[in-house]
A and B are shown apart, each in its own frame.
Chain A
Amino acid sequence: MADSSFPILTVTAVLPAVGAVATAAVPAARKAAAKYTALLFSLGTLVLALVTLVRFDPNGARYQFTENHVWVKNFGLHYDLGVDGIGAVMVALTALLIPFVMLAGWHDADPLEDRTGPNRRWRPTQGFFALILMVEAMVVLSFEATDVFLFYIFFEAMLIPMYFLIGGFGDRAHAAGEDEAARQRSYAAVKFLLYNLAGGLIMLAAVIGLYAATAKQLGTGTFALQDILNARASGKFDLATSTERWLFLGFFFAFAVKAPLWPLHTWLPNAMGESTAPVAVLITAVVDKVGTFAMLRFCLQLFPDASKWATPVILVLAVISIIYGALLAVGQRDIKRLIAYASVSHFGFIILGIFAMTSQGQSGATLYMVNHGISTAALMLVAGFLISRRGSRLIADFGGVQKVAPLLAGTFLVGGLATLSLPGLAPFVSEFLVLVGTFSRYPALGIVATLGIVLAALYVLVLYQRTMTGPVKAGVEGMSDLKARELVVVAPLIALLLFLGVYPKPVADIVNPSVQHTLSDVNKTDPKPALEAKK
């Protein structure tokens, strides 16, 4: 399918970047124009991403729509783009979520007053939407890059707009007052940045180490994934065991921070708690996915033996993430932090699926990334609507919302049910696949992970019970139900959750062949059923 010369991948990524510039250039007074510009560009990106997805041929070459250009010849730098089934699906997910994030945060960055004088150029609205588009561009490029260094650049570059989004735009109302809110916000933003930079730096060292290794063995150093894989396939390139392990750890550390895996998760609750709900969705549903995606693409493909060597430890950490995240979610008093810990638990499932190294596990993990993106977006955005109405994030400040705002409560419940993986909604399919994929190779871990589904039910239902049911609490009486704009955000997400829950086949068909490629990279096959194995 890579027949056409139209560089669709570059355009998909550049479009939002251009949109960011265009949005930022809109004059200060014309806030609405800026918003519509940004929305338009994000919708354009969505169309391109969907075209890519539809035209992707699951049975064709592994990487499609490839674009290969030499960037800096002497350093072996390439501008190599290409998507496999997993990448195409992830690009589509990103492009899909951005318009919803924008619509949900439509008024989040409206300036409280119009400034005059020297500050008349102050324009947070333009900044907010431009930064979101910038994040989108960086994330899309990370999913598309097939050159290790190119990937690294975008992997790190996305931190910059994210930093400003977290630190610059918080919830309007804050229980602890404006100054304390600003302090906590900047703490969260700096923590996010430093944590991820630390991971990134270690990865940079590993990237350079990989380059040095290729330079040594192949004569000319290269960062191109395809070159490295070809060289390995032909036996020209073979890392020493200890080198491979160190390099693997360098890459994995960065991805584990971003994913986040226990015990590297503590930045997530801060970042998600302090940022606005749309930005929180951006963090957990979009940016964090690059971490788990990169484990599949880079860790497993580049360092298959080291991946297998590290598998037992990673699986145990993943299971700890699942149980620990869920238990902490139960103990939270803040709605957004609760959802953040729930995400820690869910990322545990994704990593578990990836490193179980079975078809079901990895296909499930990929679907999980998609489904978790959509379900968390639904839950978090509705939570955001709820929080902005009440002016508080504390669970204890709510109660009886279903009586005054039934639609809000209903959509919140659907988002919650998706989070607890109810059959019929998309996350169930992926969660079960991950569990069955893990169980078929590691029964004990599979069973322990299954306990996570009970805990998920606990934190979701306790949250729903405390906020939505019971007598109407003071401060909740006048709460309005969902407005048309908010319904436009939530309804398609719920429809998508239902559709992918009942008929995930189209996505699964795109993902499966890529997963088979990845499995053959690490030289693993699914365990045979006991009955068949005997024959």
Chain B
Amino acid sequence: METLIGLLVAAPLLGAGVLLTGGRRLNRYGHLLGTLLALVSFVLGLVLFANMLGKSADDRTLTSHLFTWVPVESFQAQVGFQLDQLSMTFVLLITGVGSLIHIYSIGYMEHDENRRKFFGFLNLFLAAMLLLVLADNYFLLYAGWEGVGLASYLLIGFWQHKPSAATAAKKAFLVNRVGDIGLSVAIMLMFTTFGSFAFADVLPAAKGADATQHATLTGIGFMLLLAACGKSAQVPLQSWLGDAMEGPTPVSALIHAATMVTAGVYLITRSGAIFNVAPDAQTAVVTVGTVTLLFGAIVGCAKDDIKKALAGSTMSQIGYMIMAAGLGPIGYVFAIMHLVTHGFFKAGLFLGAGSVMHGMNDEVDMRRYGGLRKYMPITFVTFGLGYLAIIGFPGLSGYFSKDKIIEAAFAKGGTEGWILGGCAMLGAAITAFYMTRVMLMTFFGEKRWERDAEGHEPHPHESPASMTIPMIVLAFGSVFAGALFSLNSRFVHWLEPVTGHSEGDSPLSTGAVTAGTLVVLLLGVALAWLMYGRRPVPAVAPRGSLLTRAARRDLLQDDFNHVVLVRGGEHLTRSLVYLDHSLVDGVVNGTAASVGGLSGRLRKLQNGYVRSYAVSMLGGTAVVVAATLLMRAV
């Protein structure tokens, strides 16, 4: 069984290698090969899952050591895998959703001349993401962490001829790199504190750490949080996610909604033992999550670009997960549960958005949609189910997972609990508002599309089966996954051996929370209906309030980045280039020039007359002789 873990990673890696080096001769069936290898991974995942279910809860962890990666004295980095319940959950999510999105892409990318390359990049992503969740130490995790960053870079910038795509790709990579500093410093801190960075060494040691080490552990916690902020698009490193929507829609669904962006949640949950003994770091995590869940939701309300609205939503939902993960043992399980259900419905929503764009000549502005439910019924139904799931309609996936998080937030206790719970509930209301807005603007009302610049009028049509089938499967997941997980607290029991779990002490009963959530949900939906359902949507965006205008610009944080980092950086590098030339090199050239000037003077002595040279020789000799005699005399 252990060898299968390696194969799980190897299959998509092989695909990436073959597809990216194979050249044009693979163009005809490269996409099929890529999809096949993703499916192979999924099947391997299922086999391992079945095997894991057959064992008792405490005996489910599989490890597999492949080889020593970097051996330098006490720094021993291994390539080894660890498959426990937490990794298993991710493996199934990644390979499952990943396979569906491979299938979807066959249709979506049909007319792209670089489809083979696209599948190569997707396979590369799967391999890196699996490496990330299967690694048995932080160093290998870091390799996967940057690997998914690379895949994300390549896929966001897949249409490189568009300057906006190339810029967005670069931005995503750079912001992620800032986060990566966090992970590298965390690994270094672990190495200098524990002499190791393997989960098996660090996590138990953290659990047993005494008070003197808590400062270090808090430091590690903060650094891990920085890493998570970068990868999971949390405030203050969230700015790349909206731009990342420049990538092809299947990419947005797989990487920037369902899997890669949730890596931060994985990292924090996996490092639970560290955070449990570092309350300050936990508070920071919760704060970041809460701020982001409101931030993303507000941004999502103002965007007219359907993908950017969904990106805001992704940010916000991951904010929920991060918040839950920051709550400690009362939240870990629910963070992961929400992560999985979110993987289903958000991937479904993105694929739906892709399907809409596919039928609308790649139009993304929701103000140009309207009334599409008649033209694309399957997309409408699957998107609608995803919508109901995300707003937490009772009985659907999101209801189970999000309500649990809100409950856990209240269960934190004290004033903190009330604030967190209140924010989470407010977030739920805003979620309901912006998702209803998306739904109404896209599928309801009158048609608002026009001829484009070349005079083509879009002919909205349903997408081919290769695209709709994955959407239908994901819709099933969106509807039933939550209920399935919550039956007899199945998911809690499944993950408990890895993450630990404790029931909080909630000041509100479960019923009260559910009722409250339902009320705010209805408020949100009603408000959206009043604004966008009852009266026609203007085709040109109105000026809007100050908040709306700020939210359209991602609450001005991009402007901030531009002014402070981009402009400031440009000034800094320009003045440094100037200084390097004038000061550092100036000293060098100045020395050269002064030597040159001196020699110019001395050159005058060389008048070319042999006799004057002879005089100086004679004079010199006389001086030397005199000096010698004098020295002797003394």
A113 → B minimal CB distance (Å): 36
B613: interface (CB < 8 Å)? no
A423 to B146, CA, bound (A): 7
B14 at the interface (CB under 8 A from A): no
Mask, B51-92, CB within 8 Å of A = 1, is 000000000000000011111111100000000000000000
A453 touches B72 (CB 8 A): no
| A461 proximal to B (CB < 8 A) | yes
Contacting residues, chain B, for A422 (C-beta < 8 A): 146, 150
| Given known contacts A328-B576, A332-B577, A462 and B68 CB-to-CB distance under 8 angstroms | no
Q: A266-B584, A402-B160, A423-B146 are in contact. Are A508 and B576 (CB under 8 A)?
A: no
CB distance A458 to B174 under 8 Å?
yes
- Which of chain B's residues have a CB closer than 8 A to the CB of A439? 185, 188-189, 191-192
Are B161 and A471 in touch, CB under 8 angstroms? yes
In the assembled complex, the Cα of A344 lies from the Cα of B119 at a distance in Å of: 37
Among A65-73, A275-283, A307-315, A524-532, the one that faces the other chain is A524-532
Q: Residue B576 contacts which of A327, A400, A465, A530 (CB distance < 8 angstroms)?
A: A327
- Tell me how far the C-beta of B185 lies from the nearest C-beta in chain A, rounded to whole angstroms: 6
Beta-carbon contacts of A499-535 to B below 8 Å, as 1s and 0s?
A: 0001111001100100010000000001111111010
Q: Name which of B162-170, B298-306, B319-327 contacts chain A.
A: B162-170
Interface of A is mostly: helix
Among A115-123, A378-386, A430-438, the stretch that binds chain B is A430-438
Closest to B572 in A: A327
Most B CB contacts (10 A, CB to CB) among A400, A472, A508, A529 go to A529
**Is B213 part of the contact surface with A, judged by Cβ < 8 Å?**
yes
A436 touches B180 (CB 8 A): no
Segment 72-117 of B: residues with Cβ below 8 Å from A: 72-75
Contact flags B193-216 to A (C-beta < 8 A → 1, else 0) = 111100000000100000011001
If A364-B72, A531-B205 touch, whether A330 touches B188 (CB-CB below 8 Å) is no
CB-based contact A461/B576 at 8 Å = no
| Interface contact B184-A509, CB-CB below 8 Å | no
| Known interface pairs A195-B588, A263-B584, A327-B573; A531-B70 also in contact (CB < 8 Å) | no
Question: Number of contact residues on A: which range applies?
Answer: 35 or more
B592 contacts the other chain (Cβ, under 8 Å)? Answer: yes
Q: Which of B570-590 contact A (CB under 8 A)?
A: 572-574, 576-577, 580, 584-585, 587-588
> Is the pair A433, B75 in contact by a Cβ cutoff of 8 Å?
yes
Task: Check if A440 is an interface residue, CB within 8 A of chain B.
Answer: yes
Contacts of B577 in A (CB 8 A): 328, 331-332
B354 proximal to A (CB < 8 A) = no
Chain B: which residue is nearest A263 at the CB level? B584
Binds B, one of A17-25, A144-152, A156-164, A444-452: A444-452
**Set A402, A433, A443, A461: member contacting B72, Cβ < 8 A:** A433
Decide yes or no: A440 and B163 within 8 Å by CB, A266-B588, A458-B174, A508-B70 being known contacts: no
Q: Which residue of A lies closest to B73 (CB)?
A: A359
Q: Are B184 and A470 in contact (CB under 8 A)?
A: no
Q: Which residues of B contact A471 (CB under 8 A)?
A: 161, 163
Selected contact of B75 from candidates A436, A469, A502, A530, CB within 8 Å: A436
Indicate if A363 sits at the interface (CB-CB under 8 A): yes
Complex interface: chain A residues within 8 A of B157 (CB): 469
Q: How far is the CB of A148 from chain B (nearest CB, A)?
A: 28
Query: By the criterion CB–CB under 8 Å, are B160 and A423 in contact?
Result: no
A229 to chain B, nearest CB (A): 23
Name B177's contact: one of A266, A267, A453, A468 (CB within 8 Å).
A453
Within the complex, which residue of A262, A440, A464, A534 is in contact with B191, where a contact is CB–CB below 8 Å? Answer: A440
Q: Which residues of B contact A364 (CB under 8 A)?
A: 72
Tell me how far the C-beta of B547 lies from the nearest C-beta in chain A, rounded to whole angstroms: 32
Interface secondary structure of B, over-half rule: helix
| CB of A20 to closest CB in B, whole Å | 31
Out of A462, A470, A505, which one reaches B69, CB within 8 Å?
A: A505
- Chain B residues 103-152 with CB under 8 Å of chain A are 139, 142-143, 145-147, 150
Q: In the assembled complex, how far is the CB of residue B229 from the closest CB belonging to chain A, in whole angstroms? A: 14
Tell me which residues across on chain A come within 8 A of B147, comparing CB atoms. Answer: 423-424
Known contacts A422-B150, A453-B184, A503-B67; A330 and B573 CB within 8 A of each other: yes
Answer yes or no: A247 CB below 8 A from chain B CBs.
no
CB atoms of A360 and B161 under 8 A apart = no
Min Cβ gap A475→B in Å is 17
- A-side contacts of B178, CB under 8 Å: 454
Least distance between A7 CB and chain B CB atoms (Å): 32
Chain B residue at smallest Cβ distance from A525 = B73
Whether the Cβ atoms of B73 and A512 lie closer than 8 Å is yes
Q: A327-B573, A436-B187 are in contact. Are A532 and B73 (CB under 8 A)?
A: no
A442 to B: closest C-beta gap in Å: 11
Q: Does A405 contact B (CB under 8 A)?
A: no
Considering the complex, give the chain B residue whose CB is closest to the CB of A519: B73
Task: Name the residue of chain A whose CB is nearest to the CB of B575.
Answer: A331
A51 interface residue (CB < 8 Å to B): no
Complex Cα–Cα for A324 and B185 (A): 21
B173 within 8 A of A: yes
21 contacts between A and B (CB under 8 A): A263-B584, A266-B584, A266-B585, A324-B576, A327-B576, A359-B72, A359-B75, A423-B143, A424-B147, A428-B143, A428-B146, A432-B139, A439-B192, A440-B192, A454-B181, A457-B173, A465-B166, A471-B161, A471-B163, A505-B68, A530-B216
A residues with a Cβ closer than 8 A to B are 191, 194-195, 262-263, 265-267, 324, 327-328, 330-332, 359-360, 363-364, 400, 402-403, 417, 422-424, 428-429, 432-433, 435-436, 439-440, 443, 446-447, 450-451, 453-454, 457-458, 461-462, 464-465, 468-472, 502-505, 508-509, 512, 516, 526-532, 534
Q: 10 shortest A-B CB distances, which residue pairs?
A: A529-B195, A331-B573, A469-B166, A423-B143, A359-B73, A469-B160, A439-B188, A266-B585, A331-B577, A363-B72
